[in-house]
C-alpha cells in the first residue's frame, strides 16, 4: 500500500512536470508567433492549450485518488499544491491561446508602426514561469520567494506599454484595432506572470507549510495610473 | 471524531456561503459605483476584496485540516470543491476591485457620450454567479448544468460592447482613455461570468462525481471576431 502510494505520488509529480513543459512551449510559441507575425505557428498553440486542458483534468483525478489514501500532512500539501499548480498551468495555456489568437489577427494586418518592449516583457514573464517551475522541482523555497517581487516589474512594463499604445492610438485612429490586439497580448503576459507568482506561492506553501498569499505585495491596486491598462 | 468531523464540514460549508455573499456584495457595489459614478462606493470595494482574500486563506486552512482526517470519497469531493469555489470567489473579488478602480477613474472624468448595454451584461453575470451559488447550496446539479451555456450570452454581449466602444474611440479620440476604462470593466464582468461557470462545473462535479470541464462548450475561442476584445 505504502509503496503503491509513493508510486502514485511520483506519477503525480511527473505529470505536473510534463504539463509544465507543455505550458512553457505554448507561451514560447505564442510569443514567437506574435513577434514574427507567423500565422501557422500561432495556430499550433490551440493544440497546446487543448493538451493543457486534458492535463489539468487528469492531474485532478489522480490527486483526488491520492487524497483518498489518507496520506501524511506533508503528502497532503504536495497533492493540494499539485492541484493548484496544475490549475495555474492550465490558465497559462488559456493566456497563451489568447496571445496566439491576437497574433493570428495581427499577422493578417499591416504591422503597427510603434516599437513597444514586448520582447522584454515576454522574457520576464517566461523567466518567472520557468523559475517557479524550477523552484517546484528543486523544492527551493528561497528561489520561489525571490521570484514574487519580479511581478511588480512585469506590471510596470505592462503599464508602460499600455501608455505608449494609448498615445499612439490617439495619434493614429486607424491603428486602434491593432493596438487593442497588442494590449490584449500584453495583458495576457501580465496574467502569465501572475500565474507564475501563484505557483511560486504554492511552492513556498509546499516547503514551509505557510500561506503567503495576499500579504500586501503584488496586489496590483497600488498607486495612480495615468492611462487605463486593459 | 466522526461528529467533530461533521461539525468542521458544516463550518466549511458555512464559511463558503458567507464568502459567497461577500462576493455578491462586492460585485453589486462595483457595478453600482460604475453606473452611478459614485467614487466613495467604489472605494468600499477595496475592503470587500480584502475580506475575500482572507476568506480564501481561512477556507483553505480548514479544508487542509479536513482532508487530513481521511474522509469518505463524497466528503473529499465536498472539501476539494470548496477549495476551488473559494478560489473562484476570491477572483470574483479581484474583478470587482478592478471594476471599482475603473469606476473611481471614470467618476472624475466627464461621462462618455455612448450608451452601452453594461447594465444588462452586469445583470447576466451577477445572475450567473447567484445561480451557481444557489446550485451549490441546494446541491442542484441540473441547475448548475443549465447555467453553463449562459456564459456564451455574456461573451457575446462583451464582444458587442467592445465593438461599439472601438467604433466610438475611432470617431472621438479624446474618448479613448475613458472607453479603455469601460472595456476593462466589461472584461471583468466577462471574467466574473467565467468564474460563475467554474463554480457551476464544481457543483456538477460535487453532485455527480464527474468532471465536465473543457468539454468544448464555453472555450471562448470560437468564431471570427471583427474587432479586438480586451
Cell 473562484: give the residue: B88
Q: In this predicted structure, what is the pLDDT of residue A220?
A: 38
A61, with CB counted inside 10 A (0-12, 13-18, 19+), is exposed
Q: What is the DSSP letter of A173?
A: G
- Residue A63, in any domain of the structure: yes
- Residue A229, in any domain of the structure: no
- Residue A217, in any domain of the structure: no
- Residue A80, in any domain of the structure: yes
Q: Does B33 have pLDDT greater than 60?
A: yes
Q: Does B141 have pLDDT greater than 70?
A: yes
In this structure, what C-alpha cell is assigned to residue A41? 505557428
CATH number where A131 lies: 1.20.58.220
Q: In this predicted structure, what is the pLDDT of residue A211?
A: 87
Interface list for chain B against chain A, based on CB atoms closer than 8 Å: 46, 49-50, 53-54, 56-57, 60-61, 64, 67-68, 70, 73, 76-77, 80, 83-84, 87, 97, 101-102, 105, 166, 169-170, 173, 176-178, 180-181, 183-184, 187, 211, 213-214, 221, 225, 227-230
- Residue B91, in any domain of the structure: yes
| CB-based contacts of B66, cutoff 8 Å, min separation 6 | B5, B8, B9, B12, B75, B79
- Residue A227, in any domain of the structure: no
A65 three-class SS: helix
Residues of chain B with C-beta less than 8 angstroms from the C-beta of A77: 64
Considering only CA atoms, which of A230, A219, A82 is closest in space to residue A151?
A219
Q: Does B154 have pLDDT greater than 90?
A: yes
- What is the band of A2 on the pLDDT scale with cuts at 50, 70, 90? low
Cell 472601438: give the residue: B166
Q: In this predicted structure, what is the pLDDT of residue A3?
A: 67
State the nearest Cα–Cα gap between A177 and chain B, in angstroms: 6
In terms of CA atoms, which chain A residue is nearest residue B219? A94
State the nearest Cα–Cα gap between B206 and chain A, in angstroms: 12
A70 versus B65: which is more confidently predicted?
B65
In this structure, what C-alpha cell is assigned to residue B217? 462548450
pLDDT tens profile A164-193: 999 999 999 999 999 999 999 999 999 999
What distances in angstroms separate CA A12 from CA A1, A83, A137, B197, one per listed residue? 16, 10, 12, 27
State the nearest Cα–Cα gap between A127 and chain B, in angstroms: 24
Question: What is the residue range of B19's domain?
Answer: 2-208
Query: Mean of the pLDDT values across residues A204-212?
Result: 89
- If one counts the domains in chain A, the total is 1
Q: In this predicted structure, what is the pLDDT of residue A218?
A: 40
- Residue B215, in any domain of the structure: no
Planar angle of CA A18, B194, A218, nearest 5 degrees = 70
Are the beta carbons of B228 and A77 separated by less than 8 Å?
Answer: no
Q: What is the Cα–Cα distance from B25 to B33, expressed in whole angstroms?
A: 12
Comparing A189-193, A226-230, B196-200, which segment has the lowest mean pLDDT? A226-230
Q: What is the ipTM of this complex?
A: 0.85
Are the beta carbons of B221 and A183 separated by less than 8 Å?
Answer: no
Planar angle of CA A31, A184, B223, nearest 5 degrees = 90
- Residue B63, in any domain of the structure: yes
Amino acid at each position: 500500500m505504502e509503496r503503491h502510494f509513493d508510486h502514485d505520488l511520483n506519477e503525480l509529480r511527473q505529470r505536473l512536470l510534463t504539463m509544465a513543459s507543455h505550458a512553457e512551449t505554448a507561451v514560447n510559441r505564442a510569443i514567437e508567433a506574435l513577434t514574427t507575425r507567423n500565422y501557422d505557428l500561432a495556430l499550433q498553440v490551440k493544440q497546446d492549450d487543448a493538451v493543457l486542458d486534458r492535463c489539468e483534468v487528469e492531474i485532478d483525478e489522480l490527486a483526488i485518488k491520492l487524497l483518498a489514501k489518507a496520506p501524511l500532512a506533508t503528502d497532503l500539501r504536495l497533492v493540494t499544491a499539485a492541484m493548484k499548480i496544475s490549475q495555474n498551468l492550465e490558465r497559462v495555456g488559456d493566456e497563451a491561446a489568447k496571445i496566439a489568437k491576437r497574433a493570428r489577427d495581427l499577422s493578417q494586418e499591416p504591422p503597427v508602426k510603434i516599437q513597444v518592449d514586448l520582447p522584454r516583457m515576454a522574457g520576464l514573464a517566461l523567466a518567472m514561469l520557468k523559475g517557479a517551475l524550477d523552484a517546484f522541482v528543486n523544492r527551493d523555497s528561497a528561489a520561489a520567494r525571490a521570484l514574487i517581487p519580479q511581478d511588480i516589474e512585469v506590471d510596470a512594463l505592462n503599464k508602460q506599454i499600455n501608455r505608449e499604445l494609448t498615445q499612439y492610438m490617439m495619434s493614429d485612429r486607424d491603428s486602434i484595432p491593432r493596438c487593442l490586439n497588442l494590449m490584449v497580448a500584453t495583458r495576457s503576459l501580465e496574467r502569465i506572470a501572475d500565474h507564475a507568482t501563484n505557483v511560486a506561492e504554492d511552492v513556498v506553501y509546499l516547503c514551509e507549510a505557510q500561506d503567503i498569499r495576499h500579504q500586501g505585495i503584488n496586489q496590483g491596486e497600488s498607486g495612480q495610473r495615468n492611462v487605463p491598462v486593459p
